[in-house]
Every structure is written in C-alpha cells, then in structure tokens.
Amino acid sequence: MRPQDLVFVLLDRFTMISFASAIEPFRIANRMSGRTLYRWRLAGEGGEWATCSNGARIALDMDLDALGRDETVLVCGGIDVQAATTKRLVSWLRREARSGRIIAGLCTAAHALARAGLLDDHRATIHWENRDGFAEDFPEIELTKSVFVIDGNRMTTAGGTASIDLALTMIAEAHGPDLANAVADQLIYSSIRTDRDTQRLSIPTRIGVRHPKLSQVINAMERNLEEPISPATLAQDVGMSTRQLERLFRRYLGRSPKRYYMEMRLAKARNLLLQTDMSVINVALACGFASPSHFSKCYRAHYATTPYRERGSRGGPAD
C-alpha cells in the first residue's frame, strides 16, 4: 500500500499542542505497524520557519507550493488566526481545494478555511473560546460543539488534544481499529472520542457543584447572552423564588445570579473584541447591553480597561 502523504501548514502563532497531537499518532502508527503508512511535510509562508504560540520555532520543508494530487492538507491555527489568515494563504487554500483534496483545519484554523470559502455547505467546529467570534463572522456555516467534525472532504477540530481523536479516526478508517487502539495505548490515551463527543466539560464538572437546578439556570444563562433573562424568570423556570436562587448562587458560587450572568456576558464580549472586527456598539448589543456607555462602564469595572483599549491589545486566546 502506498503511504498517505500529509502536509501540515503551520500558521503564524499556531498552537504546539494541536500540531503535536495531530502528527504524533501518525508517527506512532508507522512505528507500531513496522511500515511507512504516513509521510509528511511541514509548510508555511516563506518556507523557512514557523513560530508557534509558545515562542518555539519550527523548521519548514516548503513554502505554500503546489501539492501532489493525493496529499492531505492539515492547517494548524492558533492565536490571532485572523491576522494569520493572509490573502496569500486564502488564495493557496482555494487553489488546492479545486483538486478535491481533503483539507483539515486544526484548532482555530477553521477560521482560515471558512475565510477561503472551503466550509460553505459543510458542518464545522472550532475551539469553544473562539466560537462566538466565528459565529459572528460566518453565520451561514453550521457550527457544532463537537471535538472534531468530518464532513465530506473537510475536517475541523476544536483544538488541544482533539487532534489526537481526529488522527486516530483517520488511522482506524485507513488501517483498522486495532492499529488505532495500539496507537492510543502508546499515547496513554484511554478514551478515544468520536465526532459525537462535545468539547466542554458538563456544567456540574466545570463549576464543581452537582446541583440540578443550579445547572439548569446556568445553562439558560449561557443560551441567552444576547437577550438576558431576569433573575425572577430564571428562578420561576426552575420552581424557585428569587430569594432562593440568590442564596443558591451565593452558597455555591460566591456571587449573586446577576453578577454571575454579567461575568458571562463580559467574557463573551471580550472574546468578540479580540477575535472579530465587530464595532464596540455591536459587541455591546450582542452581549445584551442596551447602550455602549453602560457596556464600557461594566467592562472597565471587571477588566480594569475599556473595550476600546482591549481591542488595541488584540491577540485572542486559543489552546
């Protein structure tokens, strides 16, 4: 069997964990099988070096050159993917996509694929911290909360260790589940996730509290950031009085429901400021603030800076 050729495209400030989690399963598959099942090259603009988000530099094998017919492309994104998605990269992705080849976006690189139009009519995923910005920039793309998505000849992952799950799935499909399981054992990876698994921990696990009504209220808050629900309505929906809800939040979370809700909305606002070109006014409206002045006042009180200065410090988060 002919080896599968892979090309990893490393964007500026790509995340090391997502890249390593993708490439290592293929290396181990070669070792465990005793054959060269996979070969790879590292590509990037300039063709010399790529710098990842932790500052390490990786030597590249090639520039954004024309590829062979059967090579699979895996684009590795990271911090400030908007800036890393250059016109040259977009043009290269569009050209390579015309051959019908498989193209994957790891971590935040779904943004680059979407900008190139490669995710039109496809389902996709992206790291949960970048979800709000992606949804604002590409509202027509069906965005899931899965750890990875394979939709035809397009693949996307949520970042972090989700690349392991995608790579193991690719190995299992090409060479069988026994080899994929052997690779997982070598990685000390005891639970292989599928495209049905979601990225984030459950609400009880995230907040460290197992209280059904508290989880229901927090879930309602997360689903209604643009049009916040009053504490009275939140309480009523779970069969509690407003006072009971207040005591519940203070006991387990150390803050009032109103304060907790405000922090969630401000966190979304910060992501939008760092990850999109939305105006401050539109960010405020998207996060449930009736006026820019009220938004700025709340933002400054929480983050000790203004939304306008935050926008100036651009360089959004990614794992």
Tens of pLDDT, residues 164-211: 999 999 999 999 999 999 999 999 998 888 888 877 666 776 777 789
Mean pLDDT of 90-106: 97
How far apart, in Å, do the first and last CA atoms of the chain sit? 36
Domain made up of 4-186: CATH architecture:
3-Layer(aba) Sandwich (3.40)
Identify the DSSP state of 52.
B
Residues 6+ apart with CB under 8 A from 245: 217, 231, 234, 235, 238, 257
Check residue 315 and give its pLDDT.
Answer: 47
Burial class (CB within 10 angstroms; exposed 0-12, middle 13-18, buried 19+) of 13 = buried
The answer to whether 73 and 116 are in contact (CB under 8 A) is no
Residues 208 and 103: their CA atoms lie apart, in Å, by 38
Check residue 313 and give its pLDDT.
Answer: 62
Q: How confident is the model at residue 314 (pLDDT cuts 50, 70, 90)?
A: low
The answer to whether 96 and 103 are in contact (CB under 8 A) is yes
In CATH, 203-312 is 1.10.10.60:
yes
Tens of pLDDT, residues 207-237: 777 899 999 999 999 999 999 999 999 999 9
Helix (H) / strand (E) containing 6: strand 4-10
Read out DSSP for 3-43? PEEEEEEE-TTB-HHHHHHHHHHHHHHHHHHTS--EEEEEE
Q: How confident is the model at residue 316 (pLDDT cuts 50, 70, 90)?
A: very low
Tens of pLDDT, residues 136-174: 899 999 999 899 999 999 999 998 999 999 999 999 999
Phi and psi at 164, nearest 5°, equal -60, -45
Check residue 202 and give its pLDDT.
Answer: 67
Domain regions of the chain by residue span = 4-186, 203-312
The amino acid occupying position 56 is A
Phi and psi at 116, nearest 5°, equal -85, -5
Check residue 24 and give its pLDDT.
Answer: 98
Read out DSSP for 217-282? HHHHHHH-SSSPPPHHHHHHHTT--HHHHHHHHHHHHSS-HHHHHHHHHHHHHHHHHHH----HHH
Q: How confident is the model at residue 264 (pLDDT cuts 50, 70, 90)?
A: very high
The amino acid occupying position 66 is A
Residues 35 and 48: their CA atoms lie apart, in Å, by 29
The answer to whether 49 and 60 are in contact (CB under 8 A) is yes
Nearest one of 28, 26, 76, 87 to 53, comparing CA atoms = 76
The answer to whether 71 and 60 are in contact (CB under 8 A) is no
Compute how many other C-beta atoms are within 10 angstroms of the C-beta atom of residue 2.
8
